[in-house]
Structure 1
Amino acid sequence: MSHRYSAFRAVWAGSTALAAAAAFSIAAPAAAQDSETADATEGQLATIIVTANRREENLQDVPVSADILDQERIGAIFSGAGDITALAGTAPGLNVESSNGRVAPRFYIRGLGNTDFDLAASQPVSVLLDDVVMENVTLKSFPIFDVERVEVLRGPQGTLFGRNTPAGIVKIDSIKPSHDTSVAAGLSFGSLDTISLNGAVGGSIAKDVLAFRVAAQMQKRGDWISNGFTNQENALGGYADFAVRGQLLFTPNDRTSINAAVNFRDLQGSSTFFRANILGPGNNKLNANYDRDTVFYDAGGGNQADYQQFGATLTAAYEFDGATLTSITSHWTSEGSSRGDVDGGFGAVFLPGGGGPGLIPFPSDTQDSIDLKQTTQEVRLASTGEGPLSWQVGGFYFESDFDVTTVGFTFPPPVTVNHTNEAWALFGQVGYQLTEKLRVTGGLRYTDDQKDFFVRSGAAPQPRSVGDDQFDWDVSIFGDVSDDASVYAKIANSFRGPTIQGRDVAFFNPPSVAQSENITSYEVGFKSELADRTVRLNGAAYYYTVEDPQFTAVGGAGNLVQLINANKGEAWGLEFDGAFQVSPQFLVTLGVAYNNTAIKDSTLAVGICAQCTVTDPTRVISGSTRALINNNPFPNAPEWSGDFTARYSIPVGNSGEFFIFTDWVYLGDTNFLLYESREFNAKSRIEGGLKVGYSGDEGQWEVAAFARNITDEDNVLGVVDFNNNTAFVNDPRIIGVMFGVKY
């Protein structure tokens, strides 16, 4: 390991010791209030702040369909040491999954995403950490800790946030340094030897001039999965995921602020556990081969994952009279690898004694690794005046360079390929208050996006280059119907840049290329706060078309990863977000989304697996291992999704409370692949969490018991479209206790 990573491990160790000395907490105590809720009087709903327009605004005043996860909800979601895929379903219309363990998550919003498991995959959902795009899939997995909020913005966001956002964005904002001394730290213990430790400390170094904040998190789990092939008990499944963030805020005068942030992560643990032949055959039910606590691996090297990530960001702002100039400079690196016994079983049918469990046509043991560098620069100038006109203009530059190495342990030598991407953009947005109750906003962005690919070693040179330059635009109108209710309409156009997929070079096939996809979205919505601000009802209806949608044909009998463009994609849906302050002590939230998607291409066919049962045999091309996919839903796009939370508290004395918090997510019937089969889909999935505890001294400390996946659901999260009905599933129930303080 490099000296740089060793140094940051030392920083992590020091900050963890400091946090542990202060106290222990998995999340902010339940009674503590976020800064954004300060204007809410007792018994009223808190104001929700969003930055969808790159400035802080009340959610009720912005023409966007959004869901906001506050500190308490985030603390509950990750209380069982979950990774970023735990966000799946926490906002209506949001799905997240991964076949690479705790790295390389795949995001979907309004049904639009990408099932590509390669480390070079592009996605139509962008993840931003402190206004910096985490473009590569490994960067998207950076742990969520010590954050102010997570915003899920649904629909095209290309004008202000750039290409590769046609589905939406997940925007993560960390807690920034301040001159008020603060300490938060804590510890939770759970089943399967699960430990989560985090802490943060901040305050003033030089009064009103220099402030700092250091936050750290450790998530750890013991081995809990046995290997039935080797008869080793509790041999697999453990991990240790460390992350630390340090920030310095320099404010030499009233007009200037400079924030320097450093992020580091070290992950040592398990990749995804594939399970052979656990579906069907002939249906999508888990069969007798399935045992959550056992796998049957003759390969895979223990399905190990080893990643280190480092990022440095410098954010500078200067306030002129009437405008603010902001510059964001960032550099990130990501190094690591993950290996898997992808067939999920052992042996092969042509070996003496066969293989198991079920049919294993031939072994598949692969490892993918990445060595990535990403640099971004953004400059924007935004108005700050009180008049009817608001505006902002800016420029953006993006550069990435990374190698991906694929090792097929039953194939010839490792193959290393290189991907480079250079993009730049100019953008602007103007809003005008036409009347006291009516506001219009329009935005425009020009982007030039260029990608290059070549084989560095292990295979014949097969260079590819793609590029595109396009305009993104949006127009919206927002009107106040009354003091408590508003309506809006929005039309937006956005694109995802062209993509090169080169993993198949390692398996004797050429790279594939997909051209840009373009989305045009039409949306209408309403926002309301009723009953003296104790009820919030927000909703939206949308319809969008995607020209040349990029899809990934994963697997088939040849186990290839091919990029394809369909002719068109269509979707429409409804979204609802509600919050109900039933009493000062009782808060309920409810979100529901309906999303209907369809691929429109009468001639497009993709490879199908060798063993599964295609739902409609007439779609299988005669004499072929391919099936037509016209009118099929988008992959990993459930029609129905939703979430529910409830928090009830009972005051104790003058400064304490007993509380109960529960949260639930629902994802409806889901087809995992481009074609439809009886095996490779999931019925509706539901998971819930519970937290029961006591908070004292007006939220300064808390003790609680918690549970994640409290009903111990066995949910199929994804499949491997190969030669056997292999799938991967969710984590089991985690029950634990937690203690925390916050001053």
Structure 2
Amino acid sequence: MSLHRIQTPSLKARLGVLAGGSLLALSVALPAAAQNAVTGFEEIVVTAQRREQNLQDVPISIKAMSGEQLQALQITKAADISALTPGLFASGSRGDSNPIFAIRGIGLNDSFSNNNPTVGVYIDEVVQPFTPLLGFALFDIERVEVLKGPQGTLYGRNTTGGAINFISKKPTQNLDAYASASYSRFNRLDLEGAVGGGLSDTLAVRVSGKTTQQSGGWQTNDVTGEKIGDKDSKALRAQILWTPTDNFEMLLKGDLFKDRSDQQLREHVGYYQRGAAFGTPCQGAILGFRDENNCVDALGYSNTNPDRRHVANSEVYGHESITTAKDLALNMKWDLGNVVLTSVTGYTDYNRVAGDDSDGSPLIQLDSQFTDDIKAFSQELRLASNNSGPVTWVVGGFYSWDRINGDVLQALDDHFFHTRVDTSWKQTTNSYALFGQAEWQFADKWRLTGGLRYTNERKSFAYDSIDLNPYGDSTLPMPVAGINDKLKQDNVSGKIGLDFQAADDLLLYASASKGFKSGGFKGAIAFNAAELEPFRGENLYAYEVGAKSTLFDGRLQLNAAAYYYDWKDFQAFVTEIRAGGINVIVLNNAGDARVYGLELEATARPVDGLTVQASANVMNTKVRKINPAVEADYLGNQLANSPEFALSGLVRYQLPIEAQGFGSYVLVDGSYRSNVYYSINNRGQSAQKGYVLLNARVAVTSLDNRWEFAVWGRNLTNKLYVSNSYDNYGGIFPSQNFLGDPRTYGATLSFKY
């Protein structure tokens, strides 16, 4: 069965197709009537290559999810999409803050906010250059696209691992509205909704918003007796679409996000033997498991409470994260006949103050207050062909400017340093790029793709740190102050690919590409100037072959890809012993690594009303070379945040009860991740063994799908697992873990018009 192509005679018509719901064809989003009316799959339109294409026609590995699918699966934050996407791994720094993504083992395991992610995240085509910006509210989403592998041509720097596109629902001339209310465990209330439509023949608007309110949660601080988990989050989005002619459109969007919520507290992990000479490792640390009965930190503390959801944190600076973010985006398109000119402009103003007990103990060893102030501007211009000839192309230019002011106030009152320290930095980046990509249909079934991107980047960095010495007896070595440095980088990245349309429903492809992530600076405390020397950019050379197919008269889609990566000068967050015996955690060019793997993704509709999805990623990662400057021995180790095996599955069954005057469905989904290390040191204490997460949803709907009532549960087996970990083994501060959410359940009532 061949998939039909959408004809797009005008920009206005094209926008209507996208916003009107062609992507509802994703399996869990299809209402019963739509599923029964077709024998195969509807077309899924993506814009991953900066133009509209059928998902099955794009010769790269992409995972696409609709907003309705995210709602049905109770996906409430960006990091949650990793459960649906084998090969994508997400970990949260300080709980849900600073989510960090890795795709096929390529990621950034760094917690400091001034360093750019390795997987580029885009909201409505506007790049989010720092990890604090990725904790945004997820609502009124049209679709999400996960592009796997380096995207060095059309997306550019900091997409070494890939790119993730979050695309909001856009205004249309048709009246469109929805409202949803959820109440769930831990006294959580989620309210969201949107309304939009035409104000005139040329003007349409859409206003949407979401709020989350929660009092208390699943974690208890035994020092204060307080339940941790309060949330007060509010987000508002307004969009205006102006289409004065059939060949011009302008979309202006503004977002406001305010959040005052608890951060998850850290679980203490000791690694010295209780009662032994200082520096003697405990058996748990040697064998790779947390054992607080026998393992203590450098000050002799351990948390022996057997309930791991109870912690003991001192919280000098509290545990709240207070965030305000304002975003503006302007997207304009001119259809000039044979070409389309697109302009994408974005601006972000973000501020956050967050308290954190960075040692996970009731002693004031390392309590921290983090302040981040971010301003970012970007402008992209693209000119793309708009015809059906044998050659299609896109060329463009990109400019971005961003600045982050960071400050970390740290209390070491009970430590043998007995002091407090204030570390601050200001980092400014200017980046320019020129790029182009062309596709040539040189034979009936053959297509050649080639692209290049030139990037020029300049970073300036000003750093100060001061020992406040409030008690007058500090033993801390003198921290570095008055550092001013610059980093200049130029890079050429790109891609070449060949694809073969072997049959109407079978696409074969092969590609070689290069991705680039820029270098940067350490934002943590330093005790000698050498620690603050910039690290260089990293390069990834990627090779991939794949197939996309639709089989059995459209009842099965089966896609597969095999890949090999050569990662040069990769940046890694490592623990090192520096001058004076001081233990520091630093992001540096660690060495070279290689990755190879295989991905499979299948979606089947064996009978009407039943949808089955399954995806798997099997990969092998290995550090092949250690740079001489790095004081660590991890040659041959597995990369951080890169489980060797990941599996996800979903079954949705539409119950045949329409004769009763309503519809109903059952949805069950689950995921498996094999053993994962959270640092390239590959220590078992900072790792998580393989685990399964299981979720379910049962819903009753009207026959026209205008309303739905659902009950649902996530992590139904109440699996306790480590979602992120900081490996500080052998240092003067303990290691710490963050835990995943326990079993949650609730009910949702939603209406749409």
TM-score, with length taken from structure 2: 0.86
Distance 1:231 1:426, change over 3 A: closer
Distance 1:507 1:104, change over 3 A: farther
Q: Is 2:379 aligned against 1:377? A: yes
Aligned equivalents of 1:474, 1:29: Cα separation in 2: 29
Q: Tell me, which stretches of 5 or more residues in structure 1 are unaligned?
A: 1-26, 348-361, 607-625
Distance 1:31 1:229, change over 3 A: closer
**Paired residue type of 2:747:** V
* 1:296 to partner: Cα distance: 0.8
Aligned equivalents of 1:472, 1:38: Cα separation in 2: 43
Aligned equivalents of 1:295, 1:48: Cα separation in 2: 46
Distance 1:230 1:393, change over 3 A: same
Aligned equivalents of 2:531, 2:635: Cα separation in 1: 26
Map 1:151-550; keep pairs closer than 5 Å. Answer: 151-206=145-200, 208-225=201-218, 227=220, 229-234=222-227, 236-277=228-269, 280-285=284-289, 289-347=305-363, 363-410=365-412, 411-455=419-463, 458=466, 460-505=481-526, 510-550=531-571
Pairwise CA RMSD of aligned residues? Answer: 2.4
**Paired residue type of 1:587:** T
Aligned equivalents of 1:695, 1:161: Cα separation in 2: 40
Partner residue, 1:683: 689
Q: Is 2:661 aligned against 1:637? A: no
Aligned equivalents of 1:40, 1:478: Cα separation in 2: 33
For CA contacts below 8 A with separation 6 or more, give which structure has more relative contact order: 1
Alpha carbons 1:427, 1:443 under 8 Å: kept: yes
Map 1:61-76; keep pairs closer than 5 Å. Answer: 61-76=57-72
Q: Secondary structure at the match of 2:109?
A: coil
Q: Secondary structure at the match of 2:685?
A: coil
**Paired residue type of 1:363:** Q
**Paired residue type of 1:57:** Q
Partner residue, 1:566: 590
* 1:297 to partner: Cα distance: 1.6
Distance 1:715 1:509, change over 3 A: farther
* 1:415 to partner: Cα distance: 2.5
Partner residue, 1:623: none
Alpha carbons 2:589, 2:627 under 8 Å: kept: no
Distance 1:575 1:191, change over 3 A: same
Partner residue, 2:742: 732
Describe the superposition over 1:147-180 as per-residue Cα deviations: whole angstroms up to 9, x where unpaired. 1111111001010001111110111111110010
TM-score, with length taken from structure 1: 0.87
Alpha carbons 1:100, 1:338 under 8 Å: kept: no
Aligned equivalents of 1:292, 1:386: Cα separation in 2: 60
Describe the superposition over 1:446-471 as per-residue Cα deviations: whole angstroms up to 9, x where unpaired. 11011110026746211121121111
Alpha carbons 1:604, 1:628 under 8 Å: kept: no
**Paired residue type of 1:628:** D
Alpha carbons 1:31, 1:698 under 8 Å: kept: no
* 1:435 to partner: Cα distance: 1.8
Aligned equivalents of 2:583, 2:674: Cα separation in 1: 28
Aligned equivalents of 1:742, 1:28: Cα separation in 2: 17
Q: Is 2:567 aligned against 1:575? A: no
Distance 1:653 1:425, change over 3 A: same
Q: Secondary structure at the match of 2:325?
A: strand
Distance 1:61 1:341, change over 3 A: same
Aligned equivalents of 2:385, 2:35: Cα separation in 1: 25
Aligned equivalents of 2:440, 2:219: Cα separation in 1: 62
* 1:28 to partner: Cα distance: 13
Distance 1:643 1:105, change over 3 A: same
Q: How many residues align?
A: 678
Aligned equivalents of 2:714, 2:30: Cα separation in 1: 23
Partner residue, 1:60: 56
Partner residue, 1:647: 652
Aligned equivalents of 1:40, 1:146: Cα separation in 2: 26
Describe the superposition over 1:186-216 as per-residue Cα deviations: whole angstroms up to 9, x where unpaired. 100011111111101000111x200001111
Aligned equivalents of 2:741, 2:628: Cα separation in 1: 36
Distance 1:39 1:391, change over 3 A: farther
Aligned equivalents of 1:328, 1:409: Cα separation in 2: 44
Aligned equivalents of 2:144, 2:709: Cα separation in 1: 25
Distance 1:54 1:554, change over 3 A: farther
Q: Is 2:700 aligned against 1:694? A: yes
Q: Is 2:42 aligned against 1:46? A: yes
Distance 1:560 1:72, change over 3 A: same
Distance 1:228 1:433, change over 3 A: closer
Describe the superposition over 1:568-619 as per-residue Cα deviations: whole angstroms up to 9, x where unpaired. 111111011110012120001110001211112256586xxxxxxxxxxxxx
Aligned equivalents of 1:311, 1:499: Cα separation in 2: 25
Q: Which moved more, 1:668-677 or 1:702-711?
A: 668-677
Alpha carbons 1:224, 1:293 under 8 Å: kept: no
Q: Secondary structure at the match of 1:60?
A: helix
* 1:364 to partner: Cα distance: 1.3
Q: Is 2:84 aligned against 1:90? A: yes
Q: Which moved more, 1:293-302 or 1:154-163?
A: 293-302
**Paired residue type of 2:494:** W
Describe the superposition over 1:72-91 as per-residue Cα deviations: whole angstroms up to 9, x where unpaired. 32113435xx4322222321
* 1:642 to partner: Cα distance: 1.8
Q: Equivalent pairs: percent with the same residue?
A: 29
* 1:398 to partner: Cα distance: 0.6
Q: Tell me, which stretches of 5 or more residues in structure 2 are unaligned?
A: 1-23, 272-283, 292-303, 413-418, 467-479
Alpha carbons 1:29, 1:740 under 8 Å: kept: no
* 1:344 to partner: Cα distance: 1.0
Aligned equivalents of 1:262, 1:162: Cα separation in 2: 25
**Paired residue type of 2:205:** F
Describe the superposition over 1:470-504 as per-residue Cα deviations: whole angstroms up to 9, x where unpaired. 11110111111112212000010121111111222
Aligned equivalents of 1:68, 1:30: Cα separation in 2: 11
* 1:389 to partner: Cα distance: 1.2
Q: Is 2:623 aligned against 1:599? A: yes
Aligned equivalents of 1:571, 1:216: Cα separation in 2: 41
Aligned equivalents of 2:405, 2:527: Cα separation in 1: 13
Aligned equivalents of 2:440, 2:213: Cα separation in 1: 51
Q: Secondary structure at the match of 1:176?
A: coil
* 1:563 to partner: Cα distance: 2.2
Aligned equivalents of 1:559, 1:202: Cα separation in 2: 55
Alpha carbons 1:478, 1:486 under 8 Å: kept: yes
